[in-house]
Homo-oligomer: A and B are copies of this chain.
Amino acid sequence: MREATLLEIKETARRHLVEHGPAGVSLRAVAREMGMTAPGLYRYVPGIDALLVAVTADLFDELASAVAAADAGVPDHDTDQRILSSLRAFRSWATTHRAEFAIMFGPRTAPEADITPAVEAGRRFGATFFTLFDRLLAERRFPLPDDASVPDDLARELRSFADTCGIWTDHIPVAAVQVLASCWVRLYGVVCMEVFEHMHFAMHDMTPLFEAELFDVLTGLGVRYTPPGDGGGTAARPSDSSD
């Protein structure tokens, strides 16, 4: 009953989000479309900001599901392909859900205090990759730099990060956490760039650049890269199969 209405509110808001952009989501419009009036929505949601946060949280779960589905779509033992598939699913979801991605990964507007549901969902999303990375670590795919080579202040921050994200710091060296952070920053950067269209004036298709970054990142991680449509035979550089 009540749950269903809240769900419908969020769904309507999300539709408005994709159709009119983040600024186009308004309580009044959502209410109108549901055959209600704006004040009625206050029975379900404490305000427009909270509604956006709730929608954002749901989106993180949806993205996590999409990534998990891609992960589950390849044989369990094939770690390489699982990672490849998961990361491509992340980008694919991002590029096909630009407005959603914008409110999830774009600049924050609300004060940090009241976005906890969203960061909670974001953490669940991150966990998808953490477990895959953990497996990579267990398989000792790449030479891990010595923990002593990571400076004290960075180590402190990385430990804090790992703790908060539920990575077992006693099992995993800080150097590994740094590698993880570095890889994530790289992929986040290229996807942000693409979705926010900051290169659109100069580069119309960002796929090759993303694939190149993916190749570099994964190679550095000891993971075998295979080009997008490939069944997994040749470990060539991105799109080299066309040469």
A interface residues, Cβ below 8 angstroms from B: 21-23, 98, 101-102, 105-109, 112, 119, 122-123, 149-154, 156-158, 160-161, 163-165, 178, 181-182, 185-190, 192-193, 195-209, 211-213, 216, 237-240, 242-243
Contact = CB atoms under 8 A, between A and B. Distances in A.
B182 A213 contact: yes
Given A153-B208, A192-B192, A106 B106 contact: yes
Contacts of A112: 197, 200-201
Given A106-B196, A158-B203, 5 more contacts: A112-B200, A151-B237, A160-B204, A182-B213, A188-B189
A208 B151 contact: yes
A149 to B, nearest CB: 6
B106 A203 contact: no
Given A151-B239, A153-B208, A243-B151, A197 B109 contact: no
Nearest to A195: B107
Contact of A201 (B107, B164, B199): B164
A239 B187 CA distance: 25
Contact of A240 (B22, B151, B197): B151
